[in-house]
Structure 1
Amino acid sequence: MSIRGSGKRPSGEKVANPPVALDLEIDSGAAGGKMGRLQQNGFAKLVSDLVQGQCRGVDAIRRGFPSTLLKDTALYFEVPIGHIRSLAGLNESTAHALTRRGANMDPASSERIWRLAHVVAMAQDVFEDDEAAKTWLRSINRAFGDVAPMDYLDTEPGAMAVRQVLNAIATGRAA
C-alpha cells in the first residue's frame, strides 16, 4: 500500500512541488507466521519509518493514510478494530465505506494514527522492546486514572500526558 499525493492542499489549492509519497510497501513474503505478519503490517512500517526519520508526517497526514491502516493497527496491538476506529475518531460506517472504496482517511484521523505511531516509537525506545512497549500502552495505568495510556492518544493533551510519563520513566523520575 502506498500513500500518494495529488499535488493539491486539502483546501484544493495547487502545490508548486507536490509532496514526496510516503511508501508503506509491505513485504509479506518470507516472514510468515503471526509474528511475521505483525512485523510486516502497515502500522509497524509507519512506526519504523518514524524511528528511521524517513516519514514525511505532515504531507502524509494531509493526504490521508490508507483506511486499511486501521486494520493493520488493530492487528499490531492485538485489539479489536473498533478500538482503533475510536482512537482515530471514525465511526464504523465511515470506516467501512472508506475501506470498501479503497479511500484514505481524512487528515484528522490520519494524524491520530500518526500520533499513536509516534508514541509507540517513543515507548519502544524507553522500554527497549516492542512487546513491552505495546503491553505498557494497552495496560491500565494509575497515572492515567486507571485507563490505558493508549486510550489517551485520541487527543493531543492526552498524548502529551503519555509522553510526559514515558519521559519520566526514561529518566528515572517518578511518573
Structure 2
Amino acid sequence: MVAFAGDTGELIHQMRAGTPVRAIAGVAAKLGVSEEKLFELLRLPECNMNSRIVKDDLLSPTEQDRIYRAEKVLEKALAVLEDRDAARTWLRQSNRSIGGEAPLELLDTEVGYELVMDTLGRIEYGVIS
C-alpha cells in the first residue's frame, strides 16, 4: 500500500482531505519496523494511535506529516543506496553526520527531515562517506 501517491496537486488534495490511519501499516512495513516502533521513532503517542486504528480514523495533520516524511525519506534512501535492506538499515542506525541519531528519529520536525534529506543528497553526490 502506498500511503501518499500521485502528482503534487493530487497529493495536496489527498492530504487536505485526510489520510486514513491504516496508511501507517504500509509505511511501517516498507521501513521494516513494527507500527509501535514507528510511533516511537516519530514521537507519535502509541495510545492515541492505537485508538485511531481501532476507530479506522484519519491521521491528524501532524501525524500525517510525520508519516509522509518517513515515506519520502525511505524513497530517497532507496534511490541513493539502491538496496532496500541498506536503506532500511541506514534509516534506523545512529549516524555521526546527523548528531549521532538515527535518521528516522529526526522526522518529527521539519528541520530534522531537511537534515536527513540533505545528508542523503550529500551521499548521492559523494560529498559524505
Q: What is the TM-score normalised by the length of structure 2?
A: 0.84
Could you tell me whether the CA contact under 8 Å between 1:88 and 1:110 is conserved in 2? no
Q: What is the TM-score normalised by the length of structure 1?
A: 0.64
Aligned residue runs from structure 1 range 103-114, under 5 A: 103-114=57-68
Identify unmatched segments of 5+ residues in structure 1: 1-41
Name which of 26, 30, 50 aligns with 1:96: 50
Change (3 A) 1:88 1:151: closer
1:125 aligns with 79
RMSD: 2.2
Name which of 23, 36, 40 aligns with 1:82: 36
2:122 aligns with 168
Equivalent residues, number: 129
1:66 aligns with 20
Could you tell me whether the CA contact under 8 Å between 1:127 and 1:133 is conserved in 2? yes
Cα distance, 1:87 vs structure 2: 4.4
| 1: CA distance, partners of 2:60 / 2:67 | 11
Moved over 6 A (4+): none
Higher normalized helix content (fraction of residues): 2
Identify unmatched segments of 5+ residues in structure 2: none
* % identical aligned pairs: 29
Q: Helix, strand or coil for the counterpart of 2:100?
A: coil
